[in-house]
Amino acid sequence: MASPRESWSLTEHLLSTQEQLYKSATQHPFLLAGAEGRLPKDLLSRWLANDRLYIHSYIRAAGTLLASIDLPRQVPGSQDAFETQLADWLIEALVAIRKEERFFIDVADRYGLGIELAPESQLPGLTLIQSIFSSIAISSPTAPSSSSPTDTPSKLPGLALVQSLFTTTTTATGPTPPPLLPWLEGALTFWGTERCYLGAWSWARDKAEERRSSSGDHDDDGHAEKEQDADGGALRREFIPNWSSPEFAEFVDKLGRLIDAAVAGALAGKEGEELERVRGEILGRVEGKWRTLLEAERLFWPDV
């Protein structure tokens, strides 16, 4: 019998439901112009300035999501728990994205690019992605199902109140527990934006390779090609290789696998109407957000 992960993948489902919008977000004329060396420095500078502020929103959102994760209290199995692996991924992402901002500044300096964003140059996609990142709310940690004598609320004054503020939502009929996989929307936001980035720059890499293979006007190091590029070669020599590398692909896929495994675990043992109900609840939480994220990614590319 196939496992839930083998029979249904949430990330694959999302990619299949908005194929045209995903294509618009990852195969934009801006990317093609960059792959073909036609992107002027002022336009690349505008995009880089917006992307640098995207990095700042990314950092804040990662901190918010980290604050929401309820790490396992028990030692056995704690390192394999989904929450622990998600925290590890987010910490890795924070280290990488700080390195990326330094990379932006270094490349901009070497190629004569400007990355200070003027208010009138802010892209609609940045405004939307900032809103999406800001919507990642703290929705946990949950109170432990069992406590040792040293960590019970009665032994730690105020702990019960703090936990109740983070674990329940008061309604007209009383408190409600946090949702299944409370970190899911946040994790999918990070996977989605990284997946679009990988898809976009991998497509640009393929287009650049097509141009290179059909042209005989460069040497093995691409020196003549660099001189002909409108941006001086910054995209094709620096940014495209960085964002289409196997290492970056593995980084993105790692989070996708984690999300799919966690969803499969939530669906395990459920059949028939119960399975469809839980799966429907999960999709109801994420499908609209996925569309909004793709729209933000599409609007993040400047018009060429």
Q: Which residue has the higher pLDDT, 6 or 72?
A: 72
- Does a structural domain hold residue 105? yes
Token pair recorded at residue 199: 């898809």
pLDDT at 33 over 90: yes
Number of domain units in the chain = 1
Indicate if the pLDDT at residue 226 is higher than 60.
no
Report the pLDDT value the prediction gives residue 75, as an integer from 0 to 100.
Answer: 80
- DSSP labels for the chain? ---HHHH--HHHHHHHHTHHHHHHHHS-HHHHHHHTT---HHHHHHHHHHHHHHHHHHHHHHHHHHHH----SSSTTGGGSHHHHHHHHHHHHHHHHHHHHHHHHHHHHHHT---PPPGGG--HHHHHHHHHHHT-----PPPPSS--TTS-TTTSTTHHHHHHHHH-EEETTEEEPPPSSTTHHHHHHHHHHHHHHHHHHHHHHHHHHHHHHH--S--TT-HHHHHHSTTTTHIIIIIHHHHTSHHHHHHHHHHHHHHHHHHHHHHTT--HHHHHHHHHHHHHHHHHHHHHHHHHHHTTSPP-
pLDDT tens-digit map of 129-141: 999 999 986 544 4
Query: Does residue 10 lie in a domain region?
Result: yes
Instruction: Tell me, yes or no, whether 151 lies in a domain.
Output: no
- Greater confidence, 304 or 167? 304
pLDDT per position as a tens digit, 242-262: 999 999 999 999 999 999 999
The answer to whether residue 149 sits within a structural domain is no
Answer yes or no: is 203 within a domain: yes
User: Within a domain: residue 153?
Assistant: no
Q: What pLDDT digit, counting tens, does each position of 34-53 carry?
A: 999 999 999 999 999 999 99
Q: How confident is the model at residue 216, as a pLDDT? A: 59
Q: pTM here?
A: 0.83
Specify the higher pLDDT residue, 219 or 30.
30
* pLDDT confidence bin for 4, thresholds 50/70/90: very low
Whole-angstrom CA distances from 59 to 32, 62, 113, 145 are 29, 5, 23, 32
The reported pLDDT for the residue numbered 77 is 76
CATH of the domain at 84: 1.20.910.10
What is the pLDDT averaged over residues 216-237?
70
Q: Predicted confidence band at 165 (pLDDT cuts at 50, 70, 90)? A: very low
| Percent with pLDDT over 90 in the chain | 70
**Residue pLDDT, tens place only, 109-122:** 999 999 999 889 99
For residue 122, tell me if it sits in a domain.
Answer: yes
Q: What is the pLDDT of residue 228?
A: 84
Measured in whole angstroms, the distance separating CA 54 from the mean position of its chain's CA atoms is: 11
Q: Which of 108-117, 147-156, 207-216 has the lowest mean pLDDT?
A: 147-156
- What is the span of the domain harbouring residue 220? 4-140+158-298
pLDDT value of residue 162: 35
Question: Is 61 a residue whose pLDDT tops 70?
Answer: yes
Is the distance from CB of 83 to CB of 72 less than 8 angstroms? Answer: yes
Quote the pLDDT of residue 242: 92
pLDDT score at 138 = 52
Note the pLDDT of residue 78.
80
